[in-house]
Chains A and B, each alone.
Chain A
Amino acid sequence: ILNVEQSPQSLHVQEGDSTNFTCSFPSSNFYALHWYRWETAKSPEALFVMTLNGDEKKKGRISATLNTKEGYSYLYIKGSQPEDSATYLCAPRYGNKLVFGAGTILRVKS
């Protein structure tokens, strides 16, 4: 059984704070690392697909890094906004299957 761990489990921050989450996973035989943002009653939204060839991605205020050798990834949000409130999921891909962590719940207070 592949164990994907995300921390912290939840996070409450003030608007404007910067924050980061961690995802650790077995590094052997993984193909890519996916980050998703999931709001209640909506579809999980793809943030990043990080492949073995790349170690950093950025989209607006959100960025992610990947350490393929040791099997961990960080997701950073700069200047958090209330609309960033969601559950953030990481999922390494092994073959054609995604294995999800339990997620980090982010709540941003205005």
Chain B
Amino acid sequence: SAVISQKPSRDICQRGTSLTIQCQVDSQVTMMFWYRQQPGQSLTLIATANQGSEATYESGFVIDKFPISRPNLTFSTLTVSNMSPEDSSIYLCSVESGGAGGYTFGSGTRLTVV
């Protein structure tokens, strides 16, 4: 199955700033998924990123707040813009990982906004 390298693993940021999270996959994949887990909440899908087209955002998430890039089939970035303490969460990227229908996840970015 695919292996994902996600960076940074954690960060503490000032409110009003932006943070870009990177995911590198060791094989080419069509779709990459970005998730967020706020404290005490479920993992929630932010958007689906396809190479060569704009990301598809879930209800409650907008491109201005969470711009996504997908320059090729092995890489994607998620930016958390104009951060507030409510953006403190774990952010995860994910890809489909093979014929069994499972998904592989990055190790997550733990973000704290102060």
Contact between chains at A44 and B92 (CB < 8 Å):
yes
Contact between chains at A46 and B103 (CB < 8 Å):
yes
Is A92 among interface residues, defined by CB-CB distance under 8 A? no
CB within 8 Å of B: which of A39-62?
41-44, 46, 49, 51
Give chain B's interface residue range (CB within 8 Å of chain A): 20 to 34
Q: Which residue of A lies closest to B3 (CB)?
A: A43
Is B9 among interface residues, defined by CB-CB distance under 8 A? yes
CB within 8 Å of B: which of A58-110?
89, 91, 93, 96-103
- The distance in angstroms between the C-alpha atoms of A99 and B58, with both chains bound, is 12
Q: Which of B41-49, B66-74, B79-87 contacts A (4 or more CB under 8 A)?
A: B41-49
Residues on B lying within 8 angstroms of A by beta carbon are 4, 9, 31, 33, 35, 40-45, 48, 92, 96-97, 100-108, 110
Size of chain A's interface in residues, with CB distance under 8 A? 22
Contact between chains at A102 and B107 (CB < 8 Å):
no
B100 to chain A: closest CB distance in Å? 6
